[in-house]
Structure 1
Amino acid sequence: MQARSGPFFHLLKATFSHLHNDHIRAWRPVLAASPSLFLRVNFDSEYLQDVQDSSFDPADCEALHFAHAYHAGFGPAVVAPDYGGVLITEMSLPPSTARSISGTANSRVNNASIITRLDCYGNSMLICGDMEQDGWEWVLQHSAFNADWRALVSNIDVLVAPHHGHSSAFSADLMNLARPRVVLVSVVGGDDSVDCRYSSAEFVSGITINGDTYRCMTTRRYGSLGLRISPPDTGSWIGRRTWLHF
């Protein structure tokens, strides 16, 4: 998501992968920016109960306020905006299916995450929400739509690790299909639980910045990370990747 930052910028699309507090805490200012297209998990009452049951403080459950506001009338535009050469593909498990394959309330919510793939000038990024290992196993091996899922996650340049890099979400199936150049992990400052396999040459080829090779980059270490993909400036159809705030 890109928030409105002046009169010439507009939020084209907002996706809330799932409704845990750490993913929707800022939903009010995001929607106040009037995104042209808005996507959220197709929640039902059982899903909302699972969200509340898996919240650190059930009394502070943003999902209930979000759901109330959604049913009160806000929603997406009728026509999808033009993303200027960026292809956005998104898939998710229905909450009812996630409930059938997951044990805890927390896992049931996580495994219904919306997974987003961005393709731009020959570069690809996969944003994995909080889907956990049993969810990946289901969609990539057992789902009737596994061919579509496998296509979604294959041949990735930049992978945003599922579930903040926790071991509970590491999937060898996912990594063997994605074969990312680099893994980005959104993780809080005091969390040391990032799975070491995300920095393994077995799964990640690495990128070179100023002569150093990086396979896994965490917000805990590098702070805010930005990636700009420019149109090709040579005969190649691959656009240039520029890392920001590094």
Structure 2
Amino acid sequence: MGNLKVRVWDVKHGNAIFVRTPNNKNLVYDLGRGDYSENSEDRSPLETLYDHYKIRDIHYLVITHPHRDHIDDILNLDKFNLVSLHRPVSLDKKAILQGISERDRPKFNKFFELDESFTEDATDSTTISNPDNYGGVKINVFQTEELNDNLNNISIFSVLQYEGLKIIIPGDNEYESLELLMERSDFRDAVKNADILIAPHHGRESAYHTEFLKLVNPRVTIISDGSLCDTSANAKYSSMSRGWRVHQKGQKVKRNLLTTNSDGEIYIDFGRNQEGKYLQIEIK
């Protein structure tokens, strides 16, 4: 078996992550689009997967929650054979569509079309995938339903584990939902001592939870965001991360924090080699 490979796309204030499992299954987390480094709204990760990676099947798609910056690229899904869809349960379609601009309405209509056609794959808070399906990759999934007045707080929260290494993809969960999740022993066990944390809610203060960060204890935190704003908790995430040697312009540089707005796309490769656990992070 090979390694688990992860690409965190540079999609401005949004989220889009591509995962290739050791048995060549294609996992996609969120559908942001754009390119902060090129000041472009048109860059489509899905088009890149289709045209350059020659991918035709998406085996596992997670839309953490239906905010525009997480579904901007959704109309390009028609090019692919979509095997499974995972998204929050208990969505209020009328409330979500209220106030949506005419320009964005086709994207949300597409989301609900998919939501209705994949009824058997709705995610609940007890979902744990069979690792045999994904080359030994174990996927734990959590969601709170109590806070559905704020879509961020019902985001699907995922933990991927492979060969003793761990990456956390929490969507836009904020402090309130993290507080609820931290009450669960299975959640605490799943997130403890991770290697990579994708910061919840783009690294905003509204999602910063000190006890959660202490438990996760990440080597590196990655923030997917556009320009730095007043509510950024970047410095806090950096201080709470252990650091790792990152391949950066031909050199290995110890980094605690990576951000798409300053580092561009981020590539992660992890698994096991002859020397034991293997983790490589690269920015180009």
**Counterpart pick for 2:166 among 124, 135, 148:** 124
Hey, what does 2:283 align to over in structure 1?
245
Structure 1 residues 152 and 212: CA distance shift in structure 2, 3 A:
same
Q: TM-score of the superposition, structure 2-length normalised?
A: 0.69
Hey, what does 1:187 align to over in structure 2?
225
Is contact 2:221-2:257 (8 Å) kept?
yes
**Counterpart pick for 1:233 among 271, 274, 280:** 274
Measure how far apart 1:50 and its partner are.
Answer: 4.2
Measure how far apart 1:63 and its partner are.
Answer: 3.0
**Counterpart pick for 2:236 among 197, 203, 206:** 197
Could you tell me how far apart the structure 2 residues matched to 1:31 and 1:231 are?
A: 35
Q: TM-score of the superposition, structure 1-length normalised?
A: 0.79
Hey, what does 1:216 align to over in structure 2?
257
Could you tell me how far apart the structure 1 residues matched to 2:219 and 2:282 are?
A: 17
Could you tell me how far apart the structure 2 residues matched to 1:22 and 1:153 are?
A: 25
Measure how far apart 1:129 and its partner are.
Answer: 0.3
Query: How many percent identity over aligned positions?
Result: 23
Backbone CA RMSD of aligned residues = 2.6
More strand by share: 2
Could you tell me how far apart the structure 2 residues matched to 1:39 and 1:194 are?
A: 28
Deviations 1:75-107 (A, max 9, x none): 678x9772112111111112xx113xxxxx5xx
Note the residue ranges of structure 2 that are not aligned, 5 or more in a row.
Answer: 1-17, 19-25, 27-48, 122-128
- What is the aligned length? 222
Which piece of structure 1 moves more, 126-135 or 23-32?
23-32
> Which one-letter code corresponds to 2:269 in the other structure?
R
Structure 1 residues 76 and 223: CA distance shift in structure 2, 3 A:
farther
Structure scoring higher RCO (CA < 8 A, sep ≥ 6) equals 2
Hey, what does 2:112 align to over in structure 1?
67
Could you tell me how far apart the structure 1 residues matched to 2:163 and 2:175 are?
A: 30
> Which one-letter code corresponds to 2:188 in the other structure?
R
Structure 1 residues 117 and 167: CA distance shift in structure 2, 3 A:
same
Could you tell me how far apart the structure 1 residues matched to 2:244 and 2:182 are?
A: 27
Deviations 1:8-44 (A, max 9, x none): x743211111110111122232364223332111143
1:111 aligns with 2:153: yes
Measure how far apart 1:130 and its partner are.
Answer: 0.2
Hey, what does 1:102 align to over in structure 2?
none
Measure how far apart 1:117 and its partner are.
Answer: 0.6
